[in-house]
Structure 1
């Protein structure tokens, strides 16, 4: 049963006329609003942030956002008071405390009705939630972390996952998802590496855009974050300042966001906490207005990261107080303040009334949000909170979801080195009688999940609630995979800390076994409550805690040791790679991760994941990412005592079958600066098993105005091949794909020689050629070609091909 939501009669609501364009309807509503009502649309309220749940002792309360406890005290007002003039957003109704679907729907209905019935115009609030590893709520599917999406090199699969996430969110009334993260990894020590898709702008752009398309196909707005520069903080420290010139920002950081807007029509952008060269993103009109709106034509909303507006005063100190911060943020281009209203509150209202802040800025921001509310159907005459959610039973961890999570996990596991032991099962393998399973990631399924997965994000505050979903740990998954072999499990040590009391039992188990499988790596958390995740930055790239010592002692037993790294960032493995009987990398593979890893270990699955980041040899942060000019690469050996050569390069990943890439064909050896050429190669499965390979195209600008990367990923295609089958892969490369930011900061296509490199990783590129770009320097903009289309043509009748970007 619904109630009257406004004192305004239906004849006085022309904005509810669905025959009018969205912009016109939004304008009609804006004209009907008082200044207080317009400004209220720019704010939000987070009821779950009050931390008033009686089940949670104050000393056990853990923040899920930076300085959450501080702002909970300073900004908390009742929802009724916060929305007496209306409200822009409801914050994290589903993601703040563990709620069943029934409880969540009831709470959502309650909050909606408070907003609707307490304000004059009865404009509904938009509901947003986190969704990076799936819908961040109790009992919802936990998919692999974003760094694992990168390992799949499979945009189509990521799009299907995002569509499933979007359908679940839409079914329970969520309108906007705060994903994907389009930050490009610049320092592996940064805690949020797990939330990124990788270290290459094209890979991040292609998979991030696929996520946007998938989520928005379900009617849920995607939010690109963090705009921009957050991942390049000094020393990888969360919220650290960013020492970056404008050219690097334009060539490495911004293209991922630009592509998601140009190719996927992303509906929202979230600002970064960081300052770049001293200018905080949340107060940067060049970034948020000139580039985003003017150059790129973005028409959606810019929402603040949580408390990024008051941070302009308290952290960046470019504003005197949160009122001043609100004025700066509004002028720069932030439209909606999340998660609570501080900077866009009563103080800003007084500044607008006094004329210090133009009301046009308020109108500009409110107009953008109201257009989205029209597009979401919130301003339709028949919209009610009850009608906006599914009327049937909602299963947030359905069998279909789990199958999709398993597919992603399986495609993301990376074989670094098969060594002498992998695969564990096969006709040429001796039967395993006794297997020691050791390590902190073997028995705890939470290690499979990222910091924005609900079990790691919120449930540490509720230790009696379990995980909310069924997740098999690595030990049980491997036991199921190996059948009759006896498995002996010893943890050995925790992920973090210096407790070595479990070493002896673990070493004894390994010594008495035919084989030892050691699962080491991370446990994600927030703000120091984990080894990976937001605010969990690393001093160096050693495995956390005493795990490296445990591995050394296991390797000393003489028993073959297969090392499985389950982590959110790459760790330095140079001390172990030559001694291990097998080496596998699994980037936080989600709730189906145990089964996926076990399948790769046994050989039931042929691994096909590829590294979206490099694996360092040394713990001291070497190397940087693969995007390096000559002086930052292994080619500079001899000029520094630090070796920049990685242990395993970007794009690398092994298999249990073999592939050959050859027969390079270039459609032209010279093309104009506005022309196009094709690059074709043939890939053949020369092994005995069906498998997938990812063919990668890199370009190298031989001579340029500025120092350019030695290799830059420009196209890729995932191909599935039966034994003996072959496929021709043709990349369509427009000259725009060679564009870069010149000395004068214009993006140009420059004439000159271009080296074309094709292979299976950034270091294995057997096919090489030269194409000359001819003509005059050409300046390009947002309308340039941003993707490299790929054609797959099977040669053998039993070949199949999927993917490609």
Structure 2
């Protein structure tokens, strides 16, 4: 009898599926479902799938911020592709909603699209989630340049698995992340959003991110989101380090350096979206550059996802790049070049229906774009599981488990730049009075694209909480950096009357009372940031410590008190004057909501720092470019004794223990051009503390038909060792590690000798020679 009822149930289900449209059948592939749905759509319905609402979403809400179905019905009867940042209470960049509040609003909006539009096509919601969702209560993790300093692929997976779950729980299905741009000019205000200067490191870390965001299935899990690679093709080495300025990079460098992470994320991790960059690339704005978007991205690399515009970038074709006086024409140029959805609001795509009717945009181009958009909606489960559990959103977002991941990330992101005489860690049992001095001592700096997490903690607060009953804690700001610290504010100025002698004098008096002084210096989120408009600038012509900080450091040092420095910043700063004075320096970037705990725990050795620099530290802005993988003709040297090397090299990072390297060997010292060998090196913890080391492998092609970099990262492993423990680390060296574009732009391995280097940093390696024969 039971088998009979099961058979009837199955037959009933089959008949139901057979009678309903194919696009509603979740047993079919997203591609088949999208093709079926596309055939049922009108021109107007198709065009609306290429549209996004951001500022315009306010027109869908009543005075209390609730969804107003009547208002929506007048403008959204034909559906909508995406809504941007549903978390915002008011207009763009306004305060965020609490998780439960956003989830409820999302369900109400989604119900309208499913139940009130003709075909019931759900709307996609995208969110900013560079290092945690940019909204109220979301867990805030270290900024990407800090996460890259961990050199830990598994940790990246844990972080972005957490981010994806939080975004999805409150009604988001797509994130505008990760940024996989390579930065070669740290004056650029968006440096903190990147993972540094190296294509191999960024590729490995970004592939881990994409897999964490999306998972591995055709249909995404309920806690997964569609990722968006930013910003294709070259964003991080523009003229003068200025955001959106032309990127004057040759095709060889573009392919060998800047494009590498995009290829890896598309071909290895299956990224579902790619966002074009604002810049000119090869002399043409990326958003109307079909060579970039069609020939390279689609035809050559096989990208099958959606190409997304950056915010207002289609409008920029008219207003910034001055290609056409017509906004509609800008839209035509963009969609014909390959852009498929315009963000954040309809501008150039607003009148696409008329462009199709007039023949300026073919039905084939529009259908191709809409089909890809629909496929993504099917893949994230919007047609099959469109709603979220409101109660779950409140308990999952900002939970204790997410905080634990944020703390672990902050712990591994700190880079010990200098530690003369083993000043760090401090012995908490020998200190009776400690002074925290500097503009960042009592601030929890989160970095750009941050919301308001449930919990934040400054170093001063963490110190008092952890040790206030045992150690007397003194504090002085010393100097003030900016008139306000608001990443969203349009106008930022340096604080007036700095250096303020009276404030520095007060800090000196505090220092005199302490057994040890900890300096908290650097920058804040308002000093180097995204400059998204001419009235909202963010790039800097200098990397110096500003507004009296050097005077403060010198004055405190003159007291003779033992001292160390913790540096917060988005880009690498010119720390030469500080390194000449301060014996121990920790680079902390912006470590997220748990930053205070992490810094204090590192101060006393409860954390043994293991971070490595993902970007070179130039001595001054005049030393830019400073990246390590330069060509042999570069870095000849400067006149009058000025050093051309970096202050701190790519891959540099000390520990509270020591690591020794020995026995670098190759399994085969001679291989063919299609062969492979294994490089092995033994690493020993020669100190007295347990610690982690990032073992780095570099390769140099000694002589080649075109100039090659002096060295390139081709492998790394992070290992944990107890005192006295050794581990042999193995790296496979094959054609992918030895190939390059020859003089004919063919991807080849050339016979010859290669130098294989392994070590603790790019400037601290041992080497062996590899011979490659035809």
Closer/same/farther in 2, CA of residues 391 and 762 from structure 1, 3 Å limit: closer
- Paired with 2:426 and 2:355, the residues of 1 have a C-alpha distance of 72
Query: Are the equivalent residues in 1 in contact too, given 2:610–2:653 (CA < 8 A)?
Result: yes
Query: What is the CA-CA distance between 1:545 and the residue it aligns to?
Result: 2.9
Q: Give the alignment's Cα RMSD to 1 decimal.
A: 2.6
Query: What is the CA-CA distance between 1:243 and the residue it aligns to?
Result: 1.2
Q: Of the candidates 347, 365, 378, which is equivalent to residue 374 of structure 1?
A: 378
Partner residue, 2:121? 123
Query: What is the CA-CA distance between 1:640 and the residue it aligns to?
Result: 8.4
- Which deviates the most, 198-207 or 163-172? 163-172
Partner residue, 2:488? none
- Which deviates the most, 567-576 or 741-750? 741-750
Q: Of the candidates 37, 42, 49, which is equivalent to residue 29 of structure 1?
A: 37
Corresponding residue SS for 2:227: strand
Query: Are the equivalent residues in 2 in contact too, given 1:189–1:621 (CA < 8 A)?
Result: no
Query: What is the CA-CA distance between 1:122 and the residue it aligns to?
Result: 1.9
Corresponding residue SS for 1:148: helix
Partner residue, 2:247? 242
- Which deviates the most, 167-176 or 740-749? 740-749
Cα deviations by residue, 1:694-753 (Å, 9 ceiling, x for unpaired):
100000111122222111110000010011111010101112222222333332222221
Query: Are the equivalent residues in 2 in contact too, given 1:472–1:591 (CA < 8 A)?
Result: yes
User: Does residue 768 of structure 2 align to residue 769 of structure 1?
Assistant: yes
User: Does residue 716 of structure 2 align to residue 716 of structure 1?
Assistant: yes
Query: What is the CA-CA distance between 1:80 and the residue it aligns to?
Result: 4.1
Closer/same/farther in 2, CA of residues 621 and 107 from structure 1, 3 Å limit: farther
User: Does residue 740 of structure 2 align to residue 744 of structure 1?
Assistant: no
- Paired with 1:102 and 1:48, the residues of 2 have a C-alpha distance of 23
Q: Of the candidates 450, 472, 476, which is equivalent to residue 490 of structure 1?
A: 476
Cα deviations by residue, 1:524-583 (Å, 9 ceiling, x for unpaired):
14997999xx94211111023332232232223322321111111110111121321311
- Paired with 1:525 and 1:737, the residues of 2 have a C-alpha distance of 40
Closer/same/farther in 2, CA of residues 41 and 570 from structure 1, 3 Å limit: same
Corresponding residue SS for 2:566: strand
Query: What is the CA-CA distance between 1:238 and the residue it aligns to?
Result: 1.1
Query: Are the equivalent residues in 2 in contact too, given 1:622–1:642 (CA < 8 A)?
Result: no
User: Does residue 83 of structure 2 align to residue 90 of structure 1?
Assistant: yes
Query: Are the equivalent residues in 2 in contact too, given 1:233–1:240 (CA < 8 A)?
Result: yes
Q: How does 1:116-265 map to 2 (within 5 A)?
A: 116-217=114-215, 218-265=223-270
Closer/same/farther in 2, CA of residues 49 and 473 from structure 1, 3 Å limit: farther
For structure 1, list consecutive stretches of 5 or more residues without a partner in the other structure.
Answer: 1-8, 57-76, 456-467, 776-805
Q: Of the candidates 473, 493, 517, which is equivalent to residue 458 of structure 2?
A: 473
- Paired with 2:747 and 2:531, the residues of 1 have a C-alpha distance of 41
Partner residue, 1:437? 436
Partner residue, 2:733? 733
User: Does residue 48 of structure 2 align to residue 40 of structure 1?
Assistant: yes
Cα deviations by residue, 1:259-286 (Å, 9 ceiling, x for unpaired):
1112111111111011123211111111
Closer/same/farther in 2, CA of residues 295 and 164 from structure 1, 3 Å limit: same
Query: What is the CA-CA distance between 1:98 and the residue it aligns to?
Result: 1.9
Query: What is the CA-CA distance between 1:165 and the residue it aligns to?
Result: 0.9
- Paired with 1:171 and 1:562, the residues of 2 have a C-alpha distance of 42
Corresponding residue SS for 1:576: helix
Query: What is the CA-CA distance between 1:90 and the residue it aligns to?
Result: 1.1
Query: What is the CA-CA distance between 1:598 and the residue it aligns to?
Result: 1.2
- Paired with 1:546 and 1:144, the residues of 2 have a C-alpha distance of 27
Query: Are the equivalent residues in 2 in contact too, given 1:665–1:681 (CA < 8 A)?
Result: yes
Query: Are the equivalent residues in 2 in contact too, given 1:171–1:390 (CA < 8 A)?
Result: no
User: Does residue 566 of structure 2 align to residue 568 of structure 1?
Assistant: no
Corresponding residue SS for 2:761: coil
Query: Are the equivalent residues in 1 in contact too, given 2:623–2:644 (CA < 8 A)?
Result: no
Closer/same/farther in 2, CA of residues 216 and 528 from structure 1, 3 Å limit: closer
- Paired with 2:101 and 2:402, the residues of 1 have a C-alpha distance of 22
TM-score, normalised via structure 1 length: 0.86
- Paired with 1:562 and 1:391, the residues of 2 have a C-alpha distance of 44
- Paired with 1:646 and 1:384, the residues of 2 have a C-alpha distance of 52
Q: Of the candidates 348, 351, 364, which is equivalent to residue 368 of structure 2?
A: 364
Partner residue, 1:783? none
Closer/same/farther in 2, CA of residues 738 and 443 from structure 1, 3 Å limit: same
Partner residue, 1:666? 666
User: Does residue 676 of structure 2 align to residue 676 of structure 1?
Assistant: yes
Q: How does 1:279-318 map to 2 (within 5 A)?
A: 279-318=284-323
- Paired with 2:79 and 2:616, the residues of 1 have a C-alpha distance of 49
Query: Are the equivalent residues in 1 in contact too, given 2:57–2:83 (CA < 8 A)?
Result: no
Q: Of the candidates 318, 328, 343, which is equivalent to residue 338 of structure 1?
A: 343
Cα deviations by residue, 1:35-79 (Å, 9 ceiling, x for unpaired):
1111111111115775999999xxxxxxxxxxxxxxxxxxxx965
- Paired with 1:167 and 1:386, the residues of 2 have a C-alpha distance of 12
- Paired with 1:508 and 1:53, the residues of 2 have a C-alpha distance of 56
Corresponding residue SS for 1:587: coil
Query: Are the equivalent residues in 2 in contact too, given 1:98–1:138 (CA < 8 A)?
Result: yes
Partner residue, 1:581? 583
- Paired with 1:568 and 1:691, the residues of 2 have a C-alpha distance of 26
Q: How does 1:747-758 map to 2 (within 5 A)?
A: 747-758=747-758
Closer/same/farther in 2, CA of residues 30 and 408 from structure 1, 3 Å limit: same
Closer/same/farther in 2, CA of residues 116 and 49 from structure 1, 3 Å limit: closer
Query: What is the CA-CA distance between 1:201 and the residue it aligns to?
Result: 0.7
For structure 2, list consecutive stretches of 5 or more residues without a partner in the other structure.
Answer: 1-16, 65-69, 216-222, 483-493
Corresponding residue SS for 2:727: strand
- Paired with 1:147 and 1:279, the residues of 2 have a C-alpha distance of 29
- Paired with 1:736 and 1:269, the residues of 2 have a C-alpha distance of 24
Query: Are the equivalent residues in 1 in contact too, given 2:520–2:566 (CA < 8 A)?
Result: yes
Cα deviations by residue, 1:759-780 (Å, 9 ceiling, x for unpaired):
0000010x211112222xxxxx
Closer/same/farther in 2, CA of residues 616 and 339 from structure 1, 3 Å limit: same
